[in-house]
Amino acid sequence: MSLKNKVVWVTGASSGIGEALVYALHGYGCRLIISSRSAEALERVKHNCDKPEQVQIIPLDLADHHAMQSKVDAAISFFGKIDVLINNAGISQRSLIRETDFAVYKKLMDINYLGTIALSKALLNHFIDHSSGHFVTVTSLMGKFGSPYRSGYCGAKHALHGFFDVMRMEHEKDGVAVTLVCPGFVRTNVAKNALTGDGSKQITDDEATQNGLAPNLVAKKIIKAVEQRKFETYIGGKEVQGIYMKRFFPKLLHRLVLRSQVR
């Protein structure tokens, strides 16, 4: 399935992987709906596109679960339909379990998991009515195995895999596709914006993120995976090996992750 000229909704579109996806998809001739919490940042991204008239903005806070149906209705009204929803928005975490307030875990679940589900569920009937639609959910390699300082983040990302695997099973007959995208380290602000134990941002970057893949390269790989209608795709450097080590050598992975202690 080619994404050329499709109507694509991208969340978390104001920076990082989401922003890179906007520019890459715009080059495909896609009509785009872009969302994040910051309308000002979205305006900047829109006007960086050659044809800004083909880009519409919907400010969106994933923590506001009850607003999702109205956001979906507004998104459909722009171009009359939506072909693909890319669930990219989310926040990360950097704190030890014993030092993390329960409110931080709730926030991670409210945004990364429940917010993503609320938006996707609000759009599901539109996909079913048109016998076509593609949910693309950006989780993480941390949705497949764990790492210290990311307990709540890993939990929310693992949960997304459980939900969207079932979404695929239940609605494949309705023409609904699901692709789960699992990036490793990518050069974004994810570490700087990560929540610490008291809910404040970490502010500082980390070496692994700084040395990660460029967002535009990740965007191209995501588009390729979507066009191939993959169930899951893993994107990154040597950290991708953790997927297979978790499956076949879990104790070895455990020791290697502890040894590296990437924060």
- From 105, 113, 149, 153, the catalytic residue: 153
Q: In the β-sheet with 31-35, what is the strand arrangement from edge to edge? A: 55-57, 31-35, 7-11, 84-87, 133-138, 176-183, 232-235
* Residue located via tokens 């914006």: 193
Write the CB contacts of 203 (distance below 8 Å, at least 6 apart in sequence). 192
- What is the helix (H) or strand (E) element at residue 234, kind and residue range? strand 232-235
Burial class of 228 by CB neighbour count within 10 A (0 to 12, 13 to 18, 19+)? exposed
**153 catalytically annotated:** yes
Distances (CA, A) of 110 to 117, 128, 155: 10, 26, 12
Q: Judging by DSSP bridges, how do beta strands 176-183 and 133-138 pair with one another?
A: parallel
Token pair listed for 129: 């009515």
H helices of the chain, where?
16-27, 39-47, 68-79, 102-108, 116-129, 151-171, 207-210, 215-227, 241-248, 250-260
Q: Which of 194, 12, 190 is nearest to 88 (CA)?
A: 12
Write the CB contacts of 92 (distance below 8 Å, at least 6 apart in sequence). 150, 153, 190, 191, 193, 194, 195
Q: Catalytic amino acids?
A: 153
